[in-house]
Each structure stands twice: as structure tokens, then as C-alpha cells.
Structure 1
């Protein structure tokens, strides 16, 4: 059973929360998707609805099911202070993990299941999920379709501002993706990718870099995608940066879920800092950097393949440079926004920690290399997921 922890009333998920800018900084919210695995075998287990039901007593609607029933999701309230986001995520992880333990499983934060399931995967019941499964049957029962991300919401004044930020953020999202890479293992072996989740997630309709659009263009394209059957509905617009259909937010969707909460805070700070730094350019009418779609997709693929351990595509100066050079460029670009939010010193400290550890993918591989057992990767992820 989940612990009896008192949470203030009024819990809401990020998709329906008021995330508009408040006070000295842009508000942020974080969604995290987790895998449920058997505590003995490490295989994904279909107990998501049961775990969410147990967690509802404490978390309410902030605990949710996902498409596959071996997954669960949590979502924070909107906040200005990163420490509040971290505290809430830590509590929600604890509650979900204890609810999972009551069902004989572990909660782990990784982009793809480390160990393959012992049986075909099943989807969570529901009318909308049923319609998706009927239209795209290859996703159902497919191990590769079960992926877990971390989605970061930034409050904006409206859809036009969300789209403008998405346009200007495009060159920087591959670097954020490399920082978040935390899924090298799949089907019981090292795939050679730092973020295998990025590869498998791309199989879903609607996933990819956001096109450069204004409000009129967005409405026209969204209507076309649904009308022609390319997507079931607007909620299936899974672009790397997308405006909410419900409230004024921009959602960044390129990140793997990470076991280390400090990495989640780093990613959240950088997203908000970058948004804050870009808003003056947008206000002055500066156009976004011109990038071809194939070039941008290539940058995302390189980031998924190499993460922080290799190189990436430099859109500022051209050519390939070490991934950490791109991280330094991202930090420099986001610095004005980070400073305005009071997050610059914390971000520099968290980046130094990631540089020392190598990031999520490196940590997973290190756990495996100790004794050559993928079960050790699962155990390490379960422990880190609950570390403060």
C-alpha cells in the first residue's frame, strides 16, 4: 500500500494546469513515465492500473496510467522554484514505488525496458487507446513501442508564444536529448545507442521535430493531420516541442526519463532558461535559425546514438564537435534566462556532476560491466529512481 502522506488538495496534471509565467520566472511542470518490472526477474509486468489505483489515495490525478499497462506516469503541479518541483517528484516516486511494491514489482526510470517481457505486452484499457491500437496495430504487443520519457512544460502567454519558442528552440533540442540519454539497453543487450528510446519512439505517428509554424499554420496543419487520418486526434501531435491543446504551455518531449533526479532538475532548468533567453529575441522579431528538416533529424539521430560520449552537429559554427562543446554552447545561450530565474549557479553545479558521472547511459553501462549482468542494471536503476 502507498504510505499515508498528506498532500494539499487541488492536484492537477500538467496538461490541464495553469503554467503561465508568474512572478520572477516562467512556471514549469514535469511529467515522468516509469516502467514496472517484476522484482525477481526484472521483466516488465502489466500492473500499471493496479499501481495507479493504489497511489490515487495520495496523489490523485497526478498518478496516471500509460498506453502499455507495464507503465505508469506522474505529473507535478506548476511551480516557479525548482526545489519545489524536485520535492514533489521525489514524493511521487516514493508513493508510486511503494504502490508498486504492493503489487510485487519495482518502479524504474529508464527509457526502454532493460530485460524483455516474458509475454506479449498489453495496452491499458480505454476507448481512446483502443482506437489507437485498432488504427496502428503494429504498436500493440510490440516490445519496442514501450518507451518512457520525461516531458517538461514551460508556461507561456498563449499559443503564439509557444509556437515562437518551439521555432527558436529547434537547434538546441538535440543537445538536450544527448544530456537526457538513458536507454542503452533493450531486449537484454546493449543496443549501441545512448537513447534507444528515441529510435523506438520515432515509430509512433506524430513523433519528430516540430515544423516552423505560426498560429494560422499550426491550425491548418493540425486540422489536416486529423482529417486525413494521419493522426487520431490533436493529442497525437507528439512533436519534440509542441503547444498544449488545453492550456498555455510549451511541452518539450525529447528527453528520456532519468533515474537521477538531479538530471531531471538540470533538464528542467535548461529548458526554462533557454525559453527565458529566447523570449527577448522573439519580442524583437528576430527569425528562428533556418534549418533543413533532414539536417535537424540527423542531429537528433546523432544525439540518440552517441549521447554525451561522442560528437554532435554544431548548428552555430557547422560540422561535428564534441557533445560537451554543444552542452557548453547550450549553457551559454540559456545563461541569461537561467540567471533571471536564479538557476545559473545550480545548473552549473548539476552539469559538473553529469560531466563527472557521464550521464544515465554511461551509468547503465557501468552497472552492467561490473559483472556482465543486465539484472544489475535493473537493480541499479531501481535504487537510483528512489534516491533523493
Structure 2
């Protein structure tokens, strides 16, 4: 497994995003090389772990990457913040990063690229090593369980300085991009035809713009899961990665021993289930992708854990995942915590300071 985390760079005085990524990435890359990367907007950076089979190593890598990026941000006069959306909007639109591909995307999709609400930060989990048929079979089988994973990682209740009404507004905002949503059920030939058609038609500029929630990576032999907000809380990121690997391990084992097709869940129903997850997180109602019924969201979390349990036992992660899930139950999701700080203080700036203090805790 491997994890990519995207972070905002914000001004300590205003709490708003600032376009200082080039300086921060240059300083961080001097220590961690290509594990520090630019993102679409110049107020963002991404850090990427090395592949690992160890949950302890994954946690250590994530903590070290955050520390390095946080130090580089501090030296550039800004803060590293883990949140799906910017809590406080920038005074001026944030420019796109100085990259030929990003500039081309900005020209082609101008209605989406506004530089104020458009910057969003996600957390992506890679599972591998897998060949393309394995990746697609696994993506087909994962589809109904991804809304429950999303609900655990919601961390974007504020957008543009306002309460969005959603626990995870990032997915709504990012959903304006073509293909952002549930993946279709595809075999290898179907994937190639679909991907080629999306690019040749001009809907997408390249295959890297296939933003399905579960997709084959085009540069490493992995399945990439793209449904989570960036979180300040490291435990949430570790929980997401371990649950994803456990679920994949269980589903792959079943696929190898049982001759059953992937669940036939309509894409429209899946989209609705993801909207429920974005709206409520793990509180309130969820939509059961298998039946279309509304149910308490925590039931979907329990089913997810039960489905992943054989894989978590196989990887030795079941007790740790149960511990991390109990932490979410007791302390809430990232969105719950952001709202609690705001309710207590009435200050969005305090929400940003709170996020920064958790994202890179040793620096505050």
C-alpha cells in the first residue's frame, strides 16, 4: 500500500491559502526528493509514501513527510493544513501551478478553474502490485463499499468562508470535473476502449484525468482509491489505508476462490450513496448501495468492517482498525471536529489554526 496526501499552504495571519508551493516544494524536495510534488494550484503540495506492507512503517513515513513539508512551509512563512477544502477563501484567485499540463487544463476547463473554491485536497490510497486485469476486477468489486469509506474521511464542512451544509464538500466541488465519480464496471478491453474514447473525443486531455473513485494507475502497477478528503488527523489517514487494504485483500481472496461476478450496483445509485456520504459523513442517514434504502450511516460502517475483517485478519490489522474506528466514534470525523471548534469559538481562523496544529503537531 501507499498513500498520497495533498495539503493546503495558508497564511498564518489570514488563514487563507497562499501561492507559495514552488518555494515549499523546492525546500522539501531537497530532503525527500520526488516524494514532495506540486499539485494543480500553487497553494497546494502533495507528499507520497513509498510502497510498504507494514502499518507501522506507513505511519512513520506519513509522520515524517508531514514534518518535512511542515518545516518547509514554516520557513516559507505559511502553515501546512490538512483539509478537503480551504476554510477561509483567498483574497485573490490562486494561480495554477507553473506546469505545461496544468496550464493546458486551465485553458481547456476554464469554467471549473476559478482559483477560489476550486482548490481542494484529497487523500489517495494505492494498493498493489497488481496487473491490469486484477486492478479492474478489484475496482468492480469495491464500488459498493467506497461510500462508507468516504464517510469516515469527510473533512471539508467549510468552503469559501461559509458552512457548506456538507461534511465533505470537497467531493461536490471536485465533482465538477469530467469523470469524477464512481467507476464503470469494465474489463481490460473495455477499459482501454473507454479510456481511449474519453481522450480522443476531447472530453479529457489525457488518461491521468480519469478521476474515477477507483482507477488503474497509469504510472505504477496499482489500484488507486480516490474518495477521501485530506485529513489533519494522521489516525484517519492510517485508518483509511488499512481498511482499504483489508477490504481489497478480502475481495481478492474471494474472487480467486469463488466464480461470482462483481455486484451489479447501478451507477446512479452509487452516485447518490456518495452524496449521502458527503452530506452526512458517518452520522445521520446513509444510502445502501445494494438496496437503495436509506439506513443509519453507522450501519454501513459496520458492514464495511465486517466485509474487510477477513482481509484485516490476514494482514494483522484488525485490532488496530477497530481501535482507530473507536477513535472516530468517540471524537468524530474531521468534519465533526472542525465544526466543534467553530461552534465553540465562532472563529474560522481558529479552525485553521486547529487544523495546522494537528497536521504537523511538532511545529506548533
TM over 0.5: yes
Aligned equivalents of 2:196, 2:292: Cα separation in 1: 36
CA contact (8 A) 1:179 1:359 kept: yes
Matched, 1:212 2:185: yes
Matched, 1:298 2:298: no
- Please, which runs of 5 or more residues in structure 2 have no aligned partner? none
Matched, 1:352 2:326: yes
**Match of residue 14 from structure 1:** none
Q: Secondary structure at the match of 1:45?
A: coil
Equivalent of 2:49 in 46, 54, 76: 76
* Runs of 4+ deviating beyond 6 Å: none
Q: Secondary structure at the match of 1:333?
A: helix
- Please give the TM-score of this superposition, normalised by the length of structure 2: 0.97
Task: State the Cα deviation string for residues 178-214 of structure 1 (Å, max 9, x = none).
Answer: 0000000111121110000010010112211000000
Aligned equivalents of 2:77, 2:115: Cα separation in 1: 23
Equivalent of 1:95 in 45, 62, 68: 68
Matches within 5 A, 1:134-149: 134-149=107-122
Q: Give, in angstroms, the shift of residue 317 of structure 1.
A: 5.4
**Match of residue 282 from structure 1:** 255
Q: Secondary structure at the match of 2:93?
A: coil
Q: Give, in angstroms, the shift of residue 142 of structure 1.
A: 3.3
Question: Residues 317, 206 of structure 1: CA spacing in aligned structure 2 closer, same or farther, 3 A cutoff?
Answer: closer
Q: Secondary structure at the match of 1:217?
A: helix
**Match of residue 56 from structure 1:** 29
Aligned equivalents of 2:186, 2:198: Cα separation in 1: 14
**Match of residue 91 from structure 2:** 118
Higher mean C-alpha displacement, 100-109 vs 130-139: 130-139
Q: Please give the root-mean-square deviation of Cα atoms over the aligned residues, in Å.
A: 1.1
Q: Give, in angstroms, the shift of residue 280 of structure 1.
A: 2.2
Matched, 1:378 2:352: yes
**Match of residue 160 from structure 1:** 133
Matched, 1:319 2:282: no
**Match of residue 343 from structure 2:** 369
Q: Secondary structure at the match of 1:302?
A: helix
For this pair of structures, how many residues does the alignment match? Answer: 361
Q: Give, in angstroms, the shift of residue 316 of structure 1.
A: 4.3
**Match of residue 81 from structure 2:** 108
CA contact (8 A) 2:139 2:214 kept: yes
**Match of residue 10 from structure 1:** none
Q: Give, in angstroms, the shift of residue 371 of structure 1.
A: 1.6
Aligned equivalents of 1:53, 1:93: Cα separation in 2: 15
CA contact (8 A) 1:121 1:140 kept: no
Aligned equivalents of 2:266, 2:195: Cα separation in 1: 21
Aligned equivalents of 2:41, 2:115: Cα separation in 1: 10
Matches within 5 A, 1:205-284: 205-283=178-256, 284=258
Aligned equivalents of 1:387, 1:240: Cα separation in 2: 30
Q: Secondary structure at the match of 1:305?
A: helix
- Please give the TM-score of this superposition, normalised by the length of structure 1: 0.91
CA contact (8 A) 1:309 1:358 kept: no
Equivalent of 1:41 in 4, 7, 14: 14
CA contact (8 A) 2:250 2:307 kept: yes
